[in-house]
Amino acid sequence: MRMVFRWFGEGNDSVPLKYIRQIPGVEGIVWALHDMPPGEVWPMDKIEKVKQQADEYGLNIDVVESVNVHEDIKLGLPTRDYYIENYKKTIENVAKVGVKVICYNFMPVFDWLRTDLYKELEDGSTALYYEDSKIRDINPMELVEKIAKNPQFSMPGWEPERLEDLSKLFEAYSNVTEEDLWHNLQYFLEEIIPVAEKHDIKMAIHPDDPPWSVFGLPRIITNKENISRFLKLVDSPYNGLTLCSGSLGANPTNNVAEMVREFAGRIHFAHIRNVKIFKHGDFIETSHRTSDGSLDICDIVKAYHDIGFTGYVRPDHGRHIWDEECRPGYGLYDRALGVMYLWGIWDALEQG
Ligand code: DNO
Ligand code: MN
């Protein structure tokens, strides 16, 4: 496995590249142009700047996460063709600096969704937390109104300045079914996968997080059956996966190690992290260690080892420990501990 580490860019990440290169076995950054709105072409000068910055520290820029998909593509609106053309140009542009994998997701409206970003764990650290009762059966339009009147009810992703956009998006998705979303995804893939093939870039979809519908929005990259269906939409190795253990593993009926074995040749990027499930629907992110959460991280790494995985891996979110000030889930300390845990398992397996 090839270890990489997410970095949000100069001025946008509390962790400097100088520190990232000191984490054992990390060979590259996982990057994106976070200031580019979804749907716009990533310009070469900005791409080259990241490449230069990484070069200075001997880090590669092989993995991009994410080139976000414009909502019009997910909604299947007539304007999608314009945004798909832009997406193709971005693929072409990042290929020029040697990118090998692009991670993206196809979740409507929200990326990963949590109800609390700083929930305290028993040891006094804090971590990202999801409580189902705060989401399930909530009418999103009513929530928009409630937060508009009382901003103290706001949740991550529901910041007051985003409310207007949210209500428009919920309106737009109100009659989009899961089947519609499948069709819109297929349309997108049929357009972009040939371009990815031409430029030798593996596309790697990230599963939905959590892997079930939220606020009545359709979500489809949620389990083994649906991932098999996804891979057949365009049956090419360039149409592949970011297999995220923490996202899929939040649903206890998903067996992540089994998926690693089943989808072996199509996994281009692995996110490995643990979650502790309290009851179905409620979970918190823990340290990467197997005994701290509900997922058997040892067994998942063993599955990667068994398939002879040579793709990219990153620790995913971490807890906030040692009073670090950082983006929620993306501090240096706990993710660096995660890297070492993953190497520990891997190296032990290598030695039999
Ligand atoms: C969740 C994280 C996400 C992920 C994006 C990919 O598990 O890895 O932030 O990066 O959903 O598009
Ligand atoms: Mn992930």
Q: The domain spanning residue 172 has which CATH number?
A: 3.20.20.150
Comparing C-alpha atoms, which of 149, 254, 262, 150 is closest to residue 207? 254
Q: Is 53 exposed, middle or buried (0-12, 13-18, 19+ CB in 10 A)?
A: middle
pLDDT for the residue numbered 312: 98
Read off the pLDDT of residues 255-311 as tens digits, 9 standing for 90 and up. 999 999 999 999 999 999 999 999 989 999 999 999 999 999 999 999 999 999 999
Q: What is the mean pLDDT of residues 233-254?
A: 98
pTM over 0.90: yes
Higher-confidence residue of 161 and 125: namely 125
Q: Which atom of ligand 1 is nearest to the CA of 316?
A: 8
Surrounding ion ligand 2 within 5 Å at CB are 244, 271, 316
Q: How far is the CA of 206 from the centre of ligand 1 (A)?
A: 7
Q: Are 75 and 172 in contact (CB under 8 A)?
A: yes
Residue 93: CB within 6 Å of ligand 1?
A: no
Q: How far is the CA of 246 from the centre of ligand 2 (A)?
A: 7
Q: How far is the CA of 222 from the centre of ligand 2 (A)?
A: 13
Residue 112: CB within 6 Å of ligand 1?
A: yes
Q: Whose CA is nearest to atom 11 of ligand 1?
A: 111
Q: How far is the CA of 111 from the centre of ligand 1 (A)?
A: 7
Distances (CA, A) of 41 to 84, 85, 92, 244: 10, 9, 10, 27
Comparing C-alpha atoms, which of 240, 196, 189 is closest to residue 92? 196
Q: What is the mean pLDDT of residues 313-319?
A: 97
pLDDT for the residue numbered 158: 85
Indicate the Cα dihedral angle 109, 28, 117, 219, nearest 10°. Answer: 30
Read off the pLDDT of residues 181-201 as tens digits, 9 standing for 90 and up. 999 999 999 999 999 999 999
Q: Which atom of ligand 1 is nearest to the CA of 66?
A: 12
Residue 206: CB within 6 Å of ligand 1?
A: yes
Residue 67: CB within 6 Å of ligand 1?
A: no
pLDDT band at 141 (very low <50, low <70, confident <90, very high): confident
Residue 10 has pLDDT above 90, yes or no: yes
Q: Ligand 1 test: best mutation among 5, 65, 113, 317, most atoms within 8 Å of CB?
A: 65
Number of structural domains found in the chain: 1
Residue 109: CB within 6 Å of ligand 1?
A: no
Q: What is the mean pLDDT of residues 339-348?
A: 98
Residue 230: CB within 6 Å of ligand 1?
A: no
Q: Are 267 and 231 in contact (CB under 8 A)?
A: no
Q: What percent of the chain has pLDDT over 90?
A: 89
DSSP 8-state symbol, 327? S
Q: Which atom of ligand 1 is nearest to the CA of 246?
A: 7
Query: What domain range includes position 200?
Result: 2-351
Average pLDDT, the chain: 96
Residue 160 has pLDDT above 90, yes or no: no
Q: How far is the CA of 242 from the centre of ligand 1 (A)?
A: 9
Q: Ligand 1 test: best mutation among 13, 31, 66, most atoms within 8 Å of CB?
A: 66
Peptide bond into 37 cis (omega under 30): no
Helices and strands, number each (H, E), in the chain: 12, 12
Residue 244: CB within 6 Å of ligand 1?
A: yes
Q: Ligand 1 test: best mutation among 4, 206, 256, 330, most atoms within 8 Å of CB?
A: 206
Structure tokens at 315: 């620790």
Residue 274: CB within 6 Å of ligand 1?
A: no
Residue 156 has pLDDT above 90, yes or no: no
pLDDT for the residue numbered 173: 96
Alpha-carbon span 139 to 210, nearest angstrom: 18
Q: Is the ipTM of this complex over 0.90?
A: yes
Alpha-carbon span 351 to 348, nearest angstrom: 5
pLDDT for the residue numbered 139: 87
pLDDT for the residue numbered 338: 98
